[in-house]
């Protein structure tokens, strides 16, 4: 019962915040795309699920903490509009920096153990970007970040 109430509140908040009808909200719940003002599209389905860039509670230590590369971790949740707006930026940076930075995503709701370990950086909010070097957090961004902001974060730590 409580989870149903929370879901209704979340859906209502989304509908009001995005100025969308109940039908648009239902489309979101059905993992379809909707457009916001200005005609831009964003998607609420997780199109990263099949990609090797996803990490979980089970492989976080191996893929992130023990990595020999600089690692950017994107903590996200499926209902977060800012997280979805960050997706194309992350995908682009993954290609642009494939030799310098390992970029991975972790769904915070489904990997609560790992998210809880790093919640001091976000106070439970997403998107959260953490940059790791040798298993240690060296930089962070909370909320929607531009490509330039993330590039500047990388440039501070990439050796020339």
Which are the catalytic amino acids?
80, 83
Residue 71 dihedral angles phi and psi, to the nearest 5°? -125, 130
Long-range contacts of 9-14 (CB under 8 A, 24+ apart): 10/79, 14/79, 14/81
The closest of 54, 48, 85, 72 to 151, measured between CA atoms, is 72
Q: Are 69 and 102 in contact (CB under 8 A)?
A: yes
Number of H helices, E strands in the chain: 6, 6
């Amino acid at each position: 019962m409580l989870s149903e109430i929370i879901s209704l509140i979340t859906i209502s908040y989304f509908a009001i915040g995005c100025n969308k009808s109940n039908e648009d909200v239902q489309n979101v719940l059905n993992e379809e795309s909707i457009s916001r003002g200005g005609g831009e599209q964003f998607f609420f389905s997780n199109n990263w699920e099949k990609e090797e860039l996803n990490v979980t509670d089970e492989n976080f230590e191996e893929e992130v903490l023990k990595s020999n590369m600089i690692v950017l971790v994107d903590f996200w949740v499926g209902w977060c509009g800012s997280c979805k707006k960050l997706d194309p930026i992350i995908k682009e940076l993954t290609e642009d920096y494939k030799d310098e930075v390992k970029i991975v995503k972790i769904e915070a709701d489904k990997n609560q153990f790992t998210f809880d370990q790093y919640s001091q950086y976000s106070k439970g909010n997403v998107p959260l970007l953490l940059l790791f070097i040798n298993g240690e957090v060296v930089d962070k961004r909370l909320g929607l970040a531009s490509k330039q902001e993330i590039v500047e974060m990388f440039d501070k730590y990439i050796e020339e």
